Chains A and B, each alone.
Chain A
């Protein structure tokens, strides 16, 4: 009996002995004979029987009879007692369990609901002294789908006065509970809020099992907002939730970026070069939102701003050399994350500040849970390989001879059609397939089966009033690029070296060590305190991948070469096409250490008032050292070195108060808050050359250049938010935010930014009940918000650069104004409206859709002023953006322990430039024009007229080439259509679960580097085959970038995870004295296949993730296979 007051036979007898109860008892309610089959059911089963009932101010006895009738059970009671009760019952139950309904009916009375043998029930008077607080409640909370315990669930006893969280076994406990009825409320991010009534008896600890459902009642899921926890039903906008703890265990996830990828509609994770350890990534929420400013969403970790990009938010580029830095977002260990919530749309900036206008990613880390100390250990070896077929295309060699000089050696170069037919400089003898030397294992630039190792250990536990969590991790990744052993031997021999460092052999590695800890205390029922620290340390060997990849991938060994180092032709060739010792021996080692400390407080001084505050610091040091030792290539070799040092400091302070009140059917929620955010980067970049022989120290450099790096920004903002709720069905909210920022100095007068929203649970309206067959939990929502985005002080004040100029052999310092001032500069302003709906269809299918329209005004645009005037920033553009997002969760089947479901996500995003100020009237090379997208590509295609020689001869000569005119719109760089399908299948009651992810992106153009390189290197047959179609010949001759733009549409098999939870009976290996409370292992695959007509390397691999359209020589994303072991002793 889940209500806790489990009655034994001895007590039943005592109850029956109460004079006049049973003997004169009546079965209240009319029960059909056919419905009495419940007599064979257990009492627990009957108590779970769903009841749908609506009562409004009816007497207690009437209410009991109505419940019995609806539930089809017999409830005995003494009517002269019950019916004289003054209690009037109001009840609104929708498929609520019988036990819950009766507890609600009897709440605030002296009666108890008890079960009797034979499937009957009775209402008896309570005889417990309610003034004694010596009862208790303990329970377990499990996931409704997996039946696995849930840790970290907030359990509240009686309206927030007592709270606790479940431990790693999903258990919680309240002691010192007064006898009588109580109400438990369980909240867990992403799960349905559950309210359970429990009756506690004196000296008895009631035991309950609460089942939370992650799907089904989506509207009651709880999410973390800037003003505290809120139910989704109250929110006028979308918040997407990722349950990181469970996802990380089963999916192929190495870092935060991979956790975010393909899990939220509208969130694009832009990869940089594939297979690069520590490659930077970029995040885009609802696309590129600004022409000039950073479009990265901000990241909040446990309430505090977390530096997530290597750049300042509005800084154009990172000046560091030696390859791009890894994303600071990945400093956070993905195993320490409990949940990730992605906030899009108008509400983000209103509540999180102006820099949040690109959206917010709210990360909540794992916290300590009350209960015995629990250890958890995981290990994850990964093996990744870049697919060779997407790196080295098929190439061909043409063998020819000079008709004027037959004695010359065969030509394998430049015998294109023009040479053959126009200049008669060569005659083709044969065309043979050629294999790139790069695929030869002894010379290969890309290693196979490159390893990654991840280990982690965490421990948590504590008492209900003091809890802790501590974790540690060690990761090591080895990037795909290597300097192959044969090349190392060659260099050692050439340079007379006895050994080379590991950094030269494997120039790209990333090693992370980190710890994470939290301590949480509830010194009183009204106050919670927590402190969180996170420390990470990285050693990153970075590299510029385009130093290694370029046209070399198109080359092949010359005639007669054997492909071995003993062959001089091979060696000569290798020296020509591979990276030189200069680049091979140039290494970059970067060290990063980062500490995050957060102190949080939440207080509930009264039932209607809560307050919270966070203060945190995010400090770190980055140091990189790029070096090519002096004297390596000879005594006159100057060598080169670059040292970069940066200290990053971030400080965040948040404080807020929320008042929640209810008056009748109307609820009020008022929140006020203030935020202070400070960020600073202080560094210096020093480069030098003319090093002492053998030295890679800048201290020995005779020529040194230094440049300082300093970025400081302060934002101070406050907001007021008011929310009204009517009948828990209609919610209206409005907010106002005011910000100030150092980016604007004291001439800027803050403008209040409004936000309005409405959420209406239409299906809960009484007048609509039963009229929407197959639809429940239907919610309509709309939100409007305004935001600003600040330019940098650099944009407003301009800049004066300094440099050294040499004139007639003398050096001088110069001061030069490189950016003009514009004191009239204003922030970018944006307005966004979002409409949407959520619903459960056919009691199974969860759907969520959203449309949005965004208008950005006063977009900052740099006027380049190329003809002699330095650049100047102006507010001169406006951009309209719109999009659509949808998520559908469909359970396919659930029978005999086999369960299957599928999630489909779709997003569409387009934008259009509405104005560009005084724009040009003609289309030129300029890619941004009014009426076209911000990422538009304008170009000309090559045309050909085969007329030379008096008529068509099938051969294209240079003079026959032309191009379309003028420049026309060709397409966009960014994929506007993105969809993700995530099917999953589980067996044996979720003991084995298979989840896979497919991504599909369409509607964008990308440059085909393979064909372009092939054209330049003349290693594709079209370059010298006279039967090649005329237009294709023209493309291969014209050297026109735009001819090689082609659709980048692709479908990628992104992930697969096969996770097996070891059954309990196998976990207790007593003969071996080994026992685990939980163990699972998972086989995981990532980027396993791609289907695309794109002929270039990889439509997703961008050399520079900040410029999504860039793709020159991107290294494809690697196939990766991994195992993960999770063990809880």
Chain B
């Protein structure tokens, strides 16, 4: 037994020595990764600029998806059974205003809110880095641009997403900040604050200045702060355009503005309440190309949009035309005589369209003004905001604004008046979101 005891003592001591050695020797476990980019590696002006460009890239993606999604739930695009995914397809649910089904098929992502929220979180990181590393005068210009994009994204959320949605963000040390729910108004107010910050920084950058002004005016319009809206856009020249274009095939993909793939042609009086985008024959503001006969009705012709003939055609994010439209709406709201109509006709005259006559009643004047907005701003992501403003600011019944009745591909149009956020996704990750969409 003596040998046994000695042997075991030796073994246990050896074991302890080995264990102690391993615990102590962290240096043996140092591994490297030369491919890994860490925050300290890019703590430079160039690194900050690259972070800013990531926000710009997010803007490109978000504006394109906004154009598509807004066109679906609104009346800008029609329906057809030859769509590749007639049923069970998220855009089809949007087209049918079936918010519940749209949310169901997006159980693991939230494309619309997500695309917009990327701008918010990426701009946070970019703003932190630009503040720290970008020298003047670029620093102020870049901060103005980033806050303007941030304001646009939040404003677009307020226009498009049903109330109760989050505006999630990221802290400077790359930790998540989960948002509390926002209403349409609280989000719009948040957007105005961001846009004011942008204007403060961008006073030397005319493009950003005008861009932020138009977005601010549009947001204030939604908030019913008409006078402030008119004031915001007053200095924006009519010829101004703020453009953003991506790379061919980079972002648009299958369901991009060249949506011949997606099977949803131009809308024309969709669901009774839709505007007559085709019937009016305005090929200047609503350019189209003949697709062919409708599959289910060989006597009917279908058209695809021709506003974006290829992927590199930029989307107009803000313009002097929109500034004048805002002023016209403010004028109409303030009972400014025919000023509102004169402003509309002035714009039409420039492109050779006939002038409009006063329809005579307050309601029809509003209808005319919003139709003009719809045609001028066709496929730029504004239409859903306008339709919701008709409901919120002008007291219209949603069923007189949105497509309604029998949906041609089966069933009835739903009752969604905004793009739902995907509650299951939010609730899974965000402890502050406990309910889905509240009443728009």
A958–B295 Cα gap in the complex (Å)?
Answer: 15
A534–B298 Cα gap in the complex (Å)?
Answer: 70
Residues on A with C-beta less than 8 A from B314 are 808
- Tell me which residues from 161 to 183 in chain B have a Cβ below 8 Å from any Cβ of chain A: 166-170, 173-178
Shortest CB distance A252–B (Å): 42
Residues on B with C-beta less than 8 A from A794 are 36
A493–B11 Cα gap in the complex (Å)?
Answer: 78
A719–B31 Cα gap in the complex (Å)?
Answer: 23
The contact of B431 among A670, A740, A918, by CB within 8 Å, is A918
Residues on A with C-beta less than 8 A from B247 are 805-806
Known A-B contacts A720-B19, A814-B51, A821-B174; A868 and B298 likewise in contact (beta carbons under 8 Å): no
Q: Cβ of A7 < 8 Å from any Cβ of B?
A: no
The contact of B114 among A608, A718, A867, by CB within 8 Å, is A867
Q: Cβ of B7 < 8 Å from any Cβ of A?
A: yes
B7 touches A742 (CB 8 A): no
Interface size on A, residues (CB 8 A): 94
A920 touches B23 (CB 8 A): no
Residues on A with C-beta less than 8 A from B312 are 809
Residues on A with C-beta less than 8 A from B15 are 672, 718-720, 736
Known A-B contacts A808-B244, A821-B174, A868-B117; A797 and B11 likewise in contact (beta carbons under 8 Å): no
A609–B6 Cα gap in the complex (Å)?
Answer: 12
- Tell me which residues from 890 to 939 in chain A have a Cβ below 8 Å from any Cβ of chain B: 918-922, 924-926
The contact of B42 among A711, A815, A959, A1038, by CB within 8 Å, is A815
Q: Cβ of B87 < 8 Å from any Cβ of A?
A: yes
Known A-B contacts A659-B7, A815-B50; A918 and B22 likewise in contact (beta carbons under 8 Å): no
B3 touches A661 (CB 8 A): yes
A670–B12 Cα gap in the complex (Å)?
Answer: 8
Q: Cβ of A807 < 8 Å from any Cβ of B?
A: yes
Q: Cβ of A957 < 8 Å from any Cβ of B?
A: yes
A423–B80 Cα gap in the complex (Å)?
Answer: 13
A869 touches B23 (CB 8 A): no
Shortest CB distance A959–B (Å): 3
Shortest CB distance B386–A (Å): 25
Q: Cβ of A1039 < 8 Å from any Cβ of B?
A: yes
A872–B428 Cα gap in the complex (Å)?
Answer: 13
Closest-by-CB residue of B relative to A811 is B247
The contact of A1039 among B29, B37, B85, B409, by CB within 8 Å, is B85
Shortest CB distance B123–A (Å): 10
Known A-B contacts A670-B11, A814-B57; A807 and B244 likewise in contact (beta carbons under 8 Å): yes
Residues on A with C-beta less than 8 A from B29 are 714-716, 740-742, 744-746
B296 touches A425 (CB 8 A): yes
A868 touches B429 (CB 8 A): no
Known A-B contacts A740-B28, A865-B176, A868-B168; A807 and B56 likewise in contact (beta carbons under 8 Å): yes
Shortest CB distance B402–A (Å): 20
A817 touches B174 (CB 8 A): yes
The contact of B53 among A738, A800, A805, A920, by CB within 8 Å, is A805
Interface size on B, residues (CB 8 A): 99
The contact of B125 among A807, A808, A817, by CB within 8 Å, is A817
A1104–B57 Cα gap in the complex (Å)?
Answer: 32
Known A-B contacts A740-B29, A807-B53, A866-B110; A708 and B34 likewise in contact (beta carbons under 8 Å): yes
Residues on B with C-beta less than 8 A from A805 are 53-54, 56-57, 60, 246-247, 250
Map CB proximity to A onto B17-45 as digits: 1 under 8 Å, 0 otherwise: 01101110110111111111111001000
Q: Cβ of B109 < 8 Å from any Cβ of A?
A: yes
Residues on B with C-beta less than 8 A from A816 are 51, 54, 57, 122
Residues on A with C-beta less than 8 A from B10 are 659
Residues on A with C-beta less than 8 A from B425 are 864, 866-867
Shortest CB distance A281–B (Å): 28
Binds A, one of B68-76, B100-108, B184-192, B228-236: B100-108
Residues on A with C-beta less than 8 A from B429 are 863-865, 869, 918
Residues on B with C-beta less than 8 A from A414 are 295
Known A-B contacts A608-B3, A674-B22, A867-B426; A714 and B28 likewise in contact (beta carbons under 8 Å): yes
- Tell me which residues from 603 to 640 in chain A have a Cβ below 8 Å from any Cβ of chain B: 608-609
A817–B129 Cα gap in the complex (Å)?
Answer: 13
Shortest CB distance A295–B (Å): 21
The contact of A870 among B34, B121, B243, by CB within 8 Å, is B121
A712 touches B33 (CB 8 A): yes
B428 touches A920 (CB 8 A): yes
Closest-by-CB residue of B relative to A816 is B54
Known A-B contacts A657-B14, A812-B53, A1040-B88; A865 and B168 likewise in contact (beta carbons under 8 Å): yes
B37 touches A750 (CB 8 A): no
Number of A-B contacts (CB under 8 A): 269
Shortest CB distance A824–B (Å): 10
Q: Cβ of A709 < 8 Å from any Cβ of B?
A: yes
A815 touches B47 (CB 8 A): yes
Q: Cβ of A34 < 8 Å from any Cβ of B?
A: no
Shortest CB distance B266–A (Å): 21
A961–B250 Cα gap in the complex (Å)?
Answer: 37
Shortest CB distance B10–A (Å): 8
B11 touches A802 (CB 8 A): no
A738 touches B174 (CB 8 A): no
**Of listed A659, A673, A745, A809, residue having the most chain B CB within 10 A:** A659
Known A-B contacts A738-B23, A742-B29, A1040-B88; A820 and B170 likewise in contact (beta carbons under 8 Å): yes
Q: Cβ of A556 < 8 Å from any Cβ of B?
A: no
Q: Cβ of B276 < 8 Å from any Cβ of A?
A: no
Shortest CB distance A726–B (Å): 14
Closest-by-CB residue of B relative to A745 is B29
Shortest CB distance A650–B (Å): 14
Q: Cβ of B398 < 8 Å from any Cβ of A?
A: no
Shortest CB distance B111–A (Å): 8
**Of listed A425, A608, A670, A794, residue having the most chain B CB within 10 A:** A670
Q: Cβ of A663 < 8 Å from any Cβ of B?
A: yes
B26 touches A746 (CB 8 A): yes
Q: Cβ of B411 < 8 Å from any Cβ of A?
A: yes
A918–B19 Cα gap in the complex (Å)?
Answer: 37
Closest-by-CB residue of B relative to A660 is B7
B174 touches A798 (CB 8 A): yes
A743–B431 Cα gap in the complex (Å)?
Answer: 30
The contact of A659 among B11, B39, B177, by CB within 8 Å, is B11
Shortest CB distance B387–A (Å): 23
Residues on B with C-beta less than 8 A from A1076 are none
Q: Cβ of A665 < 8 Å from any Cβ of B?
A: no
Residues on A with C-beta less than 8 A from B86 are 958, 1039
**Of listed B170, B296, B429, residue having the most chain A CB within 10 A:** B429
A117–B21 Cα gap in the complex (Å)?
Answer: 68
Q: Cβ of A717 < 8 Å from any Cβ of B?
A: yes
A61–B27 Cα gap in the complex (Å)?
Answer: 68
Shortest CB distance A166–B (Å): 32
A712 touches B7 (CB 8 A): no
A798–B176 Cα gap in the complex (Å)?
Answer: 12
The contact of B109 among A418, A663, A866, A1037, by CB within 8 Å, is A866
Known A-B contacts A718-B18, A805-B57; A869 and B176 likewise in contact (beta carbons under 8 Å): yes
Residues on B with C-beta less than 8 A from A742 are 29-31
Known A-B contacts A820-B170, A866-B108, A867-B166; A425 and B298 likewise in contact (beta carbons under 8 Å): yes
A793 touches B31 (CB 8 A): yes
Shortest CB distance A694–B (Å): 25
- Tell me which residues from 233 to 268 in chain B have a Cβ below 8 Å from any Cβ of chain A: 243-247, 250
Q: Cβ of B410 < 8 Å from any Cβ of A?
A: yes
A866–B115 Cα gap in the complex (Å)?
Answer: 9
27 A-B pairs (CB sep. < 8 Å)? A670-B8, A673-B18, A710-B36, A718-B22, A738-B22, A741-B29, A743-B31, A745-B29, A793-B31, A800-B37, A805-B56, A806-B247, A807-B56, A807-B60, A807-B245, A809-B245, A815-B37, A820-B174, A864-B109, A867-B422, A868-B114, A868-B119, A869-B168, A869-B178, A926-B424, A959-B407, A1039-B85
Given contacts A659-B11, A663-B1, 5 further A-B contacts (CB under 8 A): A716-B29, A797-B38, A799-B37, A865-B168, A960-B410
| Shortest 3 CB-CB contacts between residues of A and residues of B | A868-B117, A925-B107, A959-B410
